Structure 1
Amino acid sequence: MFKATPNPPETESANTSAALEEKKLKEAADRALSYYLGPTVVKNTPRKPSTIFMIAPNTDTETLLVNACESLASASVMASDFAALLDGPQRNTMLALQQIIMLSELAVNRALDNLDPQGSAA
């Protein structure tokens, strides 16, 4: 079976408007991607630390480790005491935090031992 009339020819205006619309969409997508995913500008200015809480720069390593060890021991006791007041999952979470603090305290103690092995034997 043949059609009596042929298909109407495609007009230039339909193709042109579709191509123009597609070009506009692509440009808009490119602008959006460029805006949101474009390279970020990183400043090369040196970082200036806050001096509100500052450790004296000439403090020796042993003093810093001793202070860290004492702070961790205090935090371990506080976490343990707080865990005693809790029940269920919150207690388990607090005990896990207390254990992490205790392990950190052990690591600092080992660093102190390594720093001054003769002092630890006495």
Structure 2
Amino acid sequence: MKKIVPDPPSFTLQDTAPSDQQLLDRAAADRALNYYFPDPKPDRPVVTALYSIPDGVNLEAALAQASELLRCAGATASEAGNGLDGAARDRVLSIAYLLELAKAYVDKSLDGVTTH
């Protein structure tokens, strides 16, 4: 049994080229998609950063600076907690404890760094 298969239609180059209306529709669809589905995390320019750490800073100096910052933050939290009572005092002093723990880890890392 022979099956009758028609010849495929012949297209010219002008038939396959998108029309102006199709291009406008595609542009409108792209704008709508960009509006309703923006990038999940837009790139943040570096110039808006409050502080900038130089690329050439060495590990020892960075750890020493982090240790001092954690020490200051822990002292501030301890002082703030002394003036409070109840659950608020517990929360502030737990922050001071976490800062002291982080400082201990930084200091331990600093001990392992070979000095120049």
Instruction: Output the TM-score relative to the length of structure 1.
Output: 0.56
> 2:65: which partner in 1?
67
For residues 104 and 38 of structure 2, the distance between their equivalents in structure 1, rounded to whole angstroms, comes to 43
1:11-22 superposed matches below 5 A: none
Which segments of 5 or more consecutive residues in structure 1 lack a partner in the other structure?
1-34
SS of equivalent to 2:57? coil
Select the residue among 85, 95, 98 that pairs with 1:97.
95
Segments of 4+ in structure 1 off by > 4 A?
Answer: 43-47
Seen in structure 2, the aligned counterparts of structure 1 residues 102 and 42 have a Cα distance that, compared at 3 Å, is same
CA deviation after TM superposition for structure 1 residue 40, in Å: 3.6
Q: How far did 1:58 drift?
A: 0.7
For structure 2, the residue ranges without an aligned partner over 5 or more in a row are 1-31
- Counterpart of 1:83 (choices 64, 81, 99) is 81
**Residue 85 of structure 1: CA displacement?**
0.3
Whole-angstrom distance in 2 between the partners of 1:46 and 1:97: 31
**Alignment-derived partner of residue 48 in structure 1:** 45
Pair member with larger Rg: 1
By how many angstroms is 1:97 displaced?
Answer: 0.4
The structure-2 alpha-carbon separation of the partners of 1:54 and 1:90, relative to structure 1 and needing over 3 Å to count, comes to same
SS of the equivalent of 1:113 reads: helix
CA–CA distance in structure 2, aligned partners of residues 60 and 40 of structure 1: 41
Higher relative contact order structure (alpha carbons within 8 Å, sequence separation ≥ 6): 2
Name the amino acid aligned to 1:68: A
The structure whose residues are more often helix, as a share, is: 1
What is the alpha-carbon root mean square deviation over aligned residues?
Answer: 2.5
Same amino acid, percent of matched pairs: 24
